[in-house]
Every structure is written in C-alpha cells, then in structure tokens.
Amino acid sequence: MHGNRSMPASTIIPELPYPGVYEAVEWLCQAFGFTERLRIGTHRAQLTCGSGAIVVTQGSTAWASCALMVRVDDVDSHHAQSVQAGAPILNPTRI
C-alpha cells in the first residue's frame, strides 16, 4: 500500500459532518480525547485518538450524510467488488 502522509494511517476513517468545524474539533477533543492532527481551512479537520482517526467536515449533522473512508491496497479492485455487491457509489469522482 502506498503511503499518503496527508492522511492518517488508519484503515477506516469516518467522516463526520458538523455545522461548525472549529467548535466540533474543540468539543470532540475535550469530550473524547481526540488530538487535532490537521486542519484544512474552515471546512475540514483530521483528529486522531490512539491508532484511530476521524475527519470532521463542514455540513449538516444529518446521519444520512456521514461517510466512511476505507484505506485499500487496490482501489480499482475494491471499487469493482463494491459495485458487484450492489453498493451505491454516491460520489464516483472521489475514487
């Protein structure tokens, strides 16, 4: 697997939308012990906790808009397997 220093090393990275990224980062760090790893403007931040990680994004807190980022060795193979299994691909441009 190729390294990407801009992303945490976790295999699965949940993306959690909040209306205010700054406020969410402060609260998540205080409430759950996350550490801020990286902030990208006012719309995105990476938090770590032990070997785990989450990404906080600007958006609604509606659970339907949550996503999981999964680190894989072969994105094309993983995508094909997901499509074959009937998984909806909501944003194919991110692949």
Is residue 5 one of the residues assigned to a domain?
Answer: no
| pLDDT value at residue 63 | 57
- Beta pairing partners, 56: 16, 45
Containing domain of residue 85, as a range?
12-90
Is 77 a residue whose pLDDT tops 90?
no
Is residue 58 one of the residues assigned to a domain?
Answer: yes
Is 94 a residue whose pLDDT tops 60?
no
Give the chain's domain count.
Answer: 1
Residue among 43, 52, 62 nearest 11 (CA): 52
Is residue 46 one of the residues assigned to a domain?
Answer: yes
pTM higher than 0.85 for the full model?
Answer: no
CATH number of the CATH domain containing 18: 3.30.720.120
End-to-end CA distance of the chain: 16
Q: pLDDT of 3-59, one tens digit each?
A: 677 777 778 888 889 999 999 999 989 988 899 999 998 899 999 988 889 999 998
Is residue 24 one of the residues assigned to a domain?
Answer: yes
